[in-house]
Chains A and B, each alone.
Chain A
Amino acid sequence: MLARCRHLFLITTAMALIPGAAQAFCGFYVGKADASLFNDASQVVLVRDGDRTVVTMSNDYKGELTDFALVVPVPSVITKDQIHIGDRKYIERLDAYSAPRLVEYHDPDPCAAVAFARSREAKMAAAPAAVGRDLQERASALGVTVEAKYTVGEYDILILSAKESAGLETWLRESGYRIPPKASAALAPYIRQDMKFFVAKVNLKNQKATGFSYLRPIQIAYESPKFMLPIKLGMANARGPQDLVVYALTRRGRVESTNYRTIMMPTGMDVPVFVKGEFSSFYKSVFERMHEKENSRAILTEYVWNMGWCDPCAADPLTHEELRQLGVFWLDEGTAGSAPGPRGARFGGAVPVTLTRLHVRYDASHFPEDLMFQETGDGQNFQARYVLRHAFQGSLQCPQAEPYRASLDARHQAEARTLSDLTGWQLASIHQKMGKDAPGPEQPWYKRIWR
C-alpha cells in the first residue's frame, strides 16, 4: 500500500530561513562605518582533494560599498591567477540541491488505491561583498609587508604579511578602517603561524561596470596541508552567534570536523501536515533545538550525497560545468564516468564528487579554535528530510475504511509528539494548528480492553 503512495511536493529550506541572514565568513569585515557590519550568516564552498583547495566565499553585505573590506588569513602568498571572482548562482544551486527538505505523501484511497503524481519545488538565498582604498609604505615601519596587490573583477586585493599583530592592526587603522577592538588578539595567532592576509575592498569603478547590484563571491585556489576554516577573525566584530554553512566538495567521502563534534541532523520523521506552511520556522526550531542539545558546541550535518544523483531531488545535481565553476578541479581526469547532464542524473551515475553540507552556529566562547576538517571514506548518503502524510480526503465506504480511520488518530498523535520533540513547541499549540487533523483526547487505557 505504502509503495503506492507518491510524494506530491518537495519543499526545501535554504539560507533564506537562517535567522538574520546577513553576511560574513571566515574573515572579518573591516568597516569604516558603524552600521551593519556584523557577521551573522555566511556560505563557504570548500573544494578539497589532497592538498589542493579552492575556497569560495559568499556573503550578503548590504552596507555602503565604500565601507566594506574583507580580511581572510590564507596559508601562503596568493598570486593573481589563484584568485577568481565567481558567480553566486552556483552557490545558490548548491544550496537548493542540498537544502533540508520536506517530502509530502498522500494516503491512497484505502478502498481503491490510486497512485499520485509528483512534482517539486525549491528556493533559497545567499550573497557577496567588499570595498576599496589604498595602501601606504608606512607599512614596512609597522612590520607589515604588502606582498602583492591586484585588481580582480570588482575587488582591489592586497596580500599582506605582518611581523606582529599590533603593527597590522595599526596599519589597517591608519589606512582608514574601523577595526573591531579584539582584532589584534585575533590576528596574532595567524601571524605566528606565518599565515598571510588576503584583504579585499571594492573597486567602485569596476563594480559599476559589472552591472551587478551585489558583490560577487571571491574564489581562491591554493595548496596547503591545512584543511581548515579560520573563523576566529569573524568573531571579532560579531555581536552574537553567527551561522556558517560550509559546502565541502571532495572526491571520496563525507567531511567532518576533527576538533568539534560533527553530528547528523535528525531526519526521516513524520510531522503534521501544517508544517508545510511554516517549514522555515519549523527547520529553524529543529536546528536551534539540536544546537542547544549539543551545548552550542557541535557542527550539524545537513546533507551528504554523491553529486551524481539525489533522491528525492530538491534541485538537479550540479553539472560538470557548474562544479568546475565552483572549483572542482579533478573532473577532467578521466575518472568521471557518467557525467550528470544538464538535467542531472537523478537516479544513478555516481560522479567522483561528494557534497557535505555542514551548518555551524558559532561564537567565541563555544568555538575557541578555528574549524579543522578531515575527509573520511564514508560514502553513505544522508539528507535532512521530514515527511508529511496527508490523510485520504474522499468518501470512504468500504469495510477497510474503519481500521484506516482508527489508525489516523494514532498517527496524528504520534506526529504531534514528534514535532514537539523536534522543535520544542508546545503540544497544545501544535494540536491547535493541526486543525481537523488534531488527534482527539487520548482514550483511557481501560476503554481499549473490551471494545
Chain B
Amino acid sequence: MRFFPAHLYARDPRLLQIFFLGSFLAAGFIGLGFQLPLWQPPLIIATALGAQWSLTRFTRAPPAGFLSPLISALGLSLLLRTDVVWIPVLTAIAAIASKFLIRVRGKHVFNPTNFGLALAMLVTPHAWCSPSQWGENGALIAWIAILGLAVSHRAFRSDVSLAFLASWLALKGGRVLYLGQKLPVLAHQFSSGSLILFAFFMISDPKTTPDSRAGRVLYAAMVAGFAFYLQHGLWKQNALIWSLFLLSPLVPLIDRIFKAPPYHWPTERTASCLPAVVTSS
C-alpha cells in the first residue's frame, strides 16, 4: 500500500509540498515545541481557502483549485507569529488577495506567503517571524527530508532553489572566511527552518519567478545578494523575506528581457477543485 501513489504526485508536485509542510507543522507541535497557539494554523488555513473561494467567484477567475492556497496557508502557519487574533486572518486574506489583485500580464507578482508576511510586518508591530524557532535538530531533520525529496523528485529540484542556495552559501561562506570564523558558524547559520521554507517553498514558487531559466537564476542570485546586504550591511531582521518582497516587482521586467512561456501547474487546466482523494492501488 503506497501512501502517496506516484501517479498522483507526479501529476501535481504540490501534494508532496503539502505533505512536507503539514508534517513539519505537526512535528512543530508534537516534538519540536513550536511556541505557537493551536488555533492559529486552522484559522489561517480556513481563511486562506475561504478567501480563494470568494475571490475566485468575485473576480470570475477560472477556478484554480485549493492546493496553492493550502500551501500558502501552511507556509504562513509555520512562519507568522503574532499575539493578536485578527492578524492571521488579515495576513491570510492579504496573501490570497495579492494573487488576484496584483498581476502583470496575467501573472501574479508576489509569492502569497511572502506578501502576507511582509505586509503584516509592515502594518503592525504585532506580527513577527521567529527564524530560529526550529532549533538545530528540527532544521537538520528538515534539511535531510528536503534533500531526500530533491533527490527523489524533480519538484524539489527547482533551479531557483538551487541557484538561491548556491548564492547564499557563497555569500555566507565568503563572509565567514573573510571574518576568520570557523565552519561551525556557517553550519549554524544554515540550521534554520525558515531558510529551508524560503528556499524551497517561497522563492521557488514557479508562478512568481521569471519564466526563463536564465531569468530565474539571475533573480535567485539577486534576491540572495540583496538579502545579504540587508542582513549584514543594514542589519535588518528577516532579510530574506524583505529581499524577495522588494525584488518581486522586477520579475515582469526580467520576463521582458528573457522571454519564455509562463509556467502552469500540471493540473491547472483540468482541475476545477481539489483533486478527488485517490485511494492506494
Contacts and interface: CB of A to CB of B under 8 A. Distances in A.
Interface of A: 165, 185, 188-189, 192-193, 224-227, 252-253, 256-264, 294-295, 297-298, 365, 368-369, 374, 376-380
Contact of B180 (A192, A257, A295): A192
Contacts of B126: 377-379
Interface of B: 33, 35, 81-83, 124-128, 130-137, 178-182, 184-185, 187-189, 234-237
Contact of A369 (B133, B137, B185): B185
Given A369-B189, A376-B81, A377-B126, A294 B135 contact: yes
A257 B132 contact: yes
B128 A189 contact: no
Interface pairs A-B: 5 shortest CB-CB? A377-B125, A225-B235, A188-B180, A377-B126, A189-B179
Contact of A379 (B35, B83, B185, B237): B83
Contact of A377 (B128, B133, B136, B178): B128
Nearest to A227: B235
B239 to A, nearest CB: 10
B87 to A, nearest CB: 9
Contacts of B81: 376, 378
Contacts of A298: 135
A258 B235 CA distance: 12
A261 B135 contact: yes
Contact of A262 (B130, B178, B234): B130
Contact of A258 (B33, B82, B132, B135): B132
B179 A380 contact: no
A374 B82 CA distance: 14
Given A377-B125, A377-B127, A264 B135 contact: no
Given A294-B135, A377-B124, A379-B83, A368 B180 contact: no
Nearest to B182: A368
A262 B132 contact: yes
B135 A252 contact: no
B83, B130, B180: which has the most chain A beta carbons within 10 Å? B180
Q: Which of A165, A259, A369, A376 has the most CB of B within 10 A?
A: A376
Nearest to A264: B35
A374 B237 CA distance: 7
Nearest to B179: A189
A261 B235 contact: no
Contacts, number: 79
A258 to B, nearest CB: 5
Given A259-B188, A264-B35, A297-B136, 18 more contacts: A192-B178, A192-B179, A192-B180, A258-B130, A258-B131, A258-B132, A259-B131, A259-B189, A261-B132, A261-B133, A262-B133, A294-B135, A295-B136, A295-B137, A298-B135, A378-B83, A378-B128, A379-B83
Contacts of B133: 261-262
Given A374-B237, A376-B81, A380-B83, A189 B134 contact: no
30 contacts: A189-B179, A227-B235, A253-B83, A258-B132, A258-B237, A259-B131, A260-B132, A262-B133, A263-B35, A264-B35, A294-B135, A295-B135, A295-B136, A297-B135, A368-B181, A368-B184, A368-B185, A368-B187, A369-B181, A369-B188, A374-B128, A374-B237, A376-B81, A377-B82, A377-B124, A378-B81, A378-B83, A378-B126, A379-B126, A380-B83
B176 to A, nearest CB: 9
Nearest to B138: A261
A435 B124 CA distance: 54
B130 A256 contact: yes
A261 B134 CA distance: 7
Contacts of A374: 128, 237
A374 B180 CA distance: 25
B110 to A, nearest CB: 23
A252 B135 CA distance: 25
Nearest to A189: B179
Nearest to B137: A295
Given A368-B185, A369-B185, A376 B128 contact: yes
A258 B136 CA distance: 13
Contacts of B237: 258, 374
Nearest to A225: B235
Nearest to A251: B125
A172 B133 CA distance: 39
Contacts of A376: 81, 128, 130
Contacts of A225: 234-236
A188 B188 contact: no
A263 B178 contact: no
